[in-house]
Amino acid sequence: MAIPFANGVVLGADSRVSTGTYVANRVSDKVAQLHDHIWCCRSGSAADTQALTDYVRHYLSQLAIETGRVPTVKCAAHLMRRLCYENKDNLMAGVIVGGWDPVEKGSVYNIPLGGTCLKMPFAIGGSGSTYIYGLVDAEFREGMGEEEAKSLVKKAISHAMARDGSSGGIIRTVVVKETGNEREYIPGNELPYGP
């Protein structure tokens, strides 16, 4: 999930990768960096989303060199959207793109399975998201501060992990601001909610 705040964005995800009922990887990193201040949360097929993030990372690097400017989050989201939409029959990928740029400051875009691209006040996705829509609707408000946003991301993801069998492991978060990126790791025994 991702929540923008005044000077940036907080992105977070669990770490469980499963194939049916078997957990293939319990400490995967589902939060991937696309450019200096642009990140994404991956859900769906791990192989598909890894390939997509590799392509978008490559295209954004090329764009930055050719134009001599940092790419916007909107540009990254639309590159991801184009790849998802034009290959929608072959992909199983839901992606949340978020980050900071000089134009929009902190912004979040949601790209669900069909390849739609929507700018959102916050975004949640993946199999665990269905369990936390009510929680996030009740607790989210426009203009949250950095600590409030970080706290809600951790709380919501830990609730999803407690209810959804395909979500679990640890929580990885990244706070993206103009000044830099701050990654955090919350182990399973230190989650704000859980069994």
Write the secondary structure of 82-110 as one string of H (helix), E (strand) and C (coil).
Answer: HHHHHCCCCCCEEEEEEEEECCCEEEEEE
User: Quick one: what percent of the chain has pLDDT higher than 90?
Assistant: 98
Please give the pLDDT value at position 172: 98
Distance, C-alpha 192 to centroid of its chain: 19
Could you list the beta-strand ranges (E) of 14-153.
17-19, 22-25, 31-35, 38-44, 93-101, 105-111, 118-120
Mean pLDDT for the chain overall: 97
Please give the pLDDT value at position 11: 98
User: Quick one: what percent of the chain has pLDDT higher than 70?
Assistant: 99
Does residue 47 register a pLDDT over 90? yes
Closest CA to 11 of 78, 97, 73: 97
194 falls in which pLDDT band (50, 70, 90)?
A: confident
pTM equals 0.97
Does residue 195 register a pLDDT over 90? no
| Per-residue pLDDT tens over the stretch 126-159 | 999 999 999 999 999 999 999 999 999 999 999 9
